[in-house]
Amino acid sequence: MSTPAILVENVTVHYGEVLALDGASLAVEPARICGLVGMNGSGKSTLFKAIMGMVKPDAGRVLINGEPPAKARKKGGIGYVPQSEDVDWQFPLSVRDVVMMGRYGHQGFTRRPSKADRAAVDLALDRVELSEFAGRQIGQLSGGQKKRAFVARGIAQGATMMLLDEPFAGVDKRSEATITRLLKELAADGCTILVSTHDLHALPQLCDEAVLLMRKVLMHGPPGVVLQPEHLAMAFGLDVLNRDVPDAAVPDAGVSVPGVSNRPGRG
Amino acid sequence: MEFLGLLLEPLGYDFMVRALATTALAAIVCAVLSCWLVLIGWSLMGDAVSHAVLPGVVLAYIAGAPFALGALVFALIAVTLIGVVRSTSRVKEDAAIGIVFTSLFALGLVLISVTPSQTDLNHIIFGNLLGVSVPDLIQVLVLGVVAFAILILKRRDLTLYAFDPTHAHAIGLSPKRLGALLLGLLALTSVVALQTVGVVLVVAMLIIPGATAYLLTDRFSRMLVIAPAISALCSIAGIYLSYYLDTASGAMVVLTQGAAFAVVYLFSPRQGLIGTRLAKSRRKKAAAAAL
């Protein structure tokens, strides 16, 4: 079996007293699109942070293409598309400026852009169909265009892995389709994509696989299976009839779904 | 000709020339730094650090060490204390900042009151623009040029840090180190501006120019030109005004910057309260004329 692009092994993270991740394990093969589903506080952002190495796990480890996250970051392989509410949309930068930030890892001490950098930025803008808006202030784009601008930053960076935090929040239907197509193209080129969302309807069209997260990985399999109501009930703590599901009904983290590889070393 | 005479007259005095040179330099460095401070939302931090360096400066004076060294040490102490109070108690950040910087500032005042000195240390508090000596000028020049050079050379990284620290981390940079660099430069810049307007008013030079430029443009690279230009112009105008009106020079500099902000706030064609309306009605008229 090939080295997984993202390997999360028994990762536990505490914020003070709060347990954010409890022995979460996950393996995503290269060039796959994986949807991360869970409610607020289920540890989606923490899992992202652990993958990027922004929080140190109290236990367990993360490997990116078989290497520690720090090495993967230095290589410039990790692209990140932030959640809309984490961005200051009034910031005085143009779309081109933002995409150029993807090149900083490839540049010298003062990050002076070279011809190659400019060409990479133009290419990335073209790919996400934002060339005509390159000079706009970043906040003067529509919801979907904003997301595409950040995807372009990842493309310009040459990321082999992209993490997207709630990419469909505040995005209209048409832009959603555009983003879905774009991400699928990137995956076809070999980019591994991890999408966190609590917006479930867009997932089946986009993802090759889906993960249910509730501090640990409850389930990992094809979206059609994972997104079935009785499975979602485990992650969201409710079933379709809005009855509270007792804790005892939550299966062990080691649920495995036929047809999906389960990494060794898990229950 | 008369106007030229008014401009040239103060230049006949060496102390005025030194005052103008120091002010212009401090104004430029502070203005460049202010562009990041207002965008990150660190204005209060600028206030805190610029006050908290006071005991450091006094102790450096007593020890005969460079002011900048004492200032840096106390800037670091202030930032650490703020972080500790915020994260280990239920006190929120603004309160933590308020507690730490006023306490350190008070410590500085106490130290001044017990330190016998030939030069009046009170000048540190309100600035002593007209008493800038040649060694003072050289110190400001060296520190100012160093701070300016670092800010300009690392401007792209600092902007990335201000805009999206997570991306900075993702591509292998250290947001922590960039934040620390910015705080260090804040301390250094505070020392530069101490001489001009004094500890109490440094914060004005660290906030107003950036905020003014922010209302005038949508490009950060242009802010980095507009802010120092406005700041230098206002500061020099402020000194001339204080010369002819016989008012406190440091305060006059800040007052001029505040007035410039007010004008931009009202009349900026992009963001101004009145300016945007004027632009709209002009467009309407143009459309009517075209019919």
Q: What is the mean pLDDT of residues B225-247?
A: 94
| pLDDT at position A253 | 41
- What pLDDT was estimated at residue B79? 86
Give pLDDT, residue A267.
33
CB–CB of B170 and A109 under 8 A? no
Per DSSP, the three-state class of A162 is strand
pLDDT at B64: 86
B214–A contact, CB cutoff 8 A: yes
- Report yes or no: B169 at the A interface, CB cutoff 8 Å: yes
Rounded to a whole number, what is the distance in Å from the CA of B218 to chain A's nearest CA?
A: 4
Cβ distance of A104 and B220 shorter than 8 Å: no
pTM listed for this prediction? 0.87
Residues 6 or more apart whose Cβ sits within 8 Å of residue A112: none
Under 8 Å between Cβ of A185 and A128: no
Tell me the shortest Cα–Cα distance from B29 to chain A, in angstroms. Answer: 19
The answer to whether residue A237 neighbours chain B at the CB level (below 8 Å) is no
Of A31, A1, A24, A51, give the one whose Cα is nearest residue A163: A51
- Cβ contacts of B284 within 8 Å, gap of 6 or more: none
CB contact under 8 A, A101 and B39: no
B-chain CB neighbours of A78 within 8 Å are: 170-171
Q: From the list B155, B164, B217, which residue is nearest A92 (CB)?
A: B217
**Does A137 contact B at CB distance below 8 Å?**
yes
Average pLDDT over all residues of chain B: 89
For residues B235-255, one letter each, b for 16 or more C-beta atoms within 10 angstroms of the residue's C-beta and e for the rest, the string is: bbbbbbbbbeeeebbbbbbbb
Q: Is B41 in contact with B66 (CB distance < 8 Å)?
A: no
pLDDT at A76 (0 to 100)? 86
Q: Distance, in angstroms, between B156 CA and closest chain A CA?
A: 7
- Using a CB-CB cut-off of 8 Å, the residues of chain A touching B167 are 80, 82, 101, 153
- What are the tens digits of pLDDT across the range B170-224? 999 999 999 989 988 998 888 888 877 888 888 899 999 999 999 999 999 999 9
Cβ contact (<8 Å) for A73 and B164? no
Q: Tell me if chain A has a CB within 8 Å of the CB of B123.
A: no
Q: Is A85 on the interface with B (CB under 8 A)?
A: no
List the single best residue of B171, B176, B219, B226 to mutate versus A (max A Cβ within 10 A): B171
pLDDT for res B118: 61
Q: SS in 3 state form for chain B?
A: CHHHHHHHHHHHCHHHHHHHHHHHHHHHHHHHHHHHHHHHCCHHHHHHHHHHCHHHHHHHHHHCCCHHHHHHHHHHHHHHHHHHHHHHCCCCHHHHHHHHHHHHHHHHHHHHHHCCCCCCCHHHHHCCHHHCCHHHHHHHHHHHHHHHHHHHHCHHHHHHHHHCHHHHHHCCCCHHHHHHHHHHHHHHHHHHHHHHHCHHHHHHHHHHHHHHHHCCCCCHHHHHHHHHHHHHHHHHHHHHHHHHHCCCHHHHHHHHHHHHHHHHHHHCCCCCCCHHHHHHHHHHHHHHHHC
| A52–B164 CB contact, under 8 Å | no
How many other CB atoms sit within 10 Å of the CB of residue A31? 17
Interface probe for A, chosen from B154, B155, B178, B218 (most Cβ of A below 10 Å), is B218
Minimal Cβ distance to B163: which of A80, A88, A111: A88
Out of A80, A94, A110, closest to residue B170 by CB: A80
Q: Is B160 on the interface with A (CB under 8 A)?
A: yes
Q: Is B174 touching A (CB cutoff 8 A)?
A: no
Bridge partners of residue A61, in order along the sequence:
A9
∠ CA A108-A111-A112, rounded to 5°? 100
Complex ipTM > 0.90: no
Q: How many CB atoms lie within 10 A of CB B175?
A: 17
A168 touches chain B (CB under 8 A): no
pLDDT at B213: 96
What's phi and psi for A234, nearest 5 deg?
-65, -40
pLDDT at position B137 over 90: no
> Residue A236's pLDDT is what?
76
**Of residues B39, B167, B214, nearest to A80 (C-beta):** B167
What share of chain B has pLDDT > 70, as a percent?
98
B19-34: average pLDDT? 93
CB pairs under 8 A between A and B: 73
Q: What's the pLDDT tens digit per position in B105-135?
A: 999 999 988 887 766 677 778 778 878 888 8
Euclidean distance between CA atoms A153 and B160, whole angstroms: 12
Residue of B nearest to A88 (CA): B163
Residues of chain A with pLDDT below 50 are 239-241, 243, 245-267
pLDDT digits (tens, 9 = 90+) for B44-96: 888 899 899 899 988 988 898 888 888 889 988 998 898 888 888 888 888 99
pLDDT for A141 equals 94
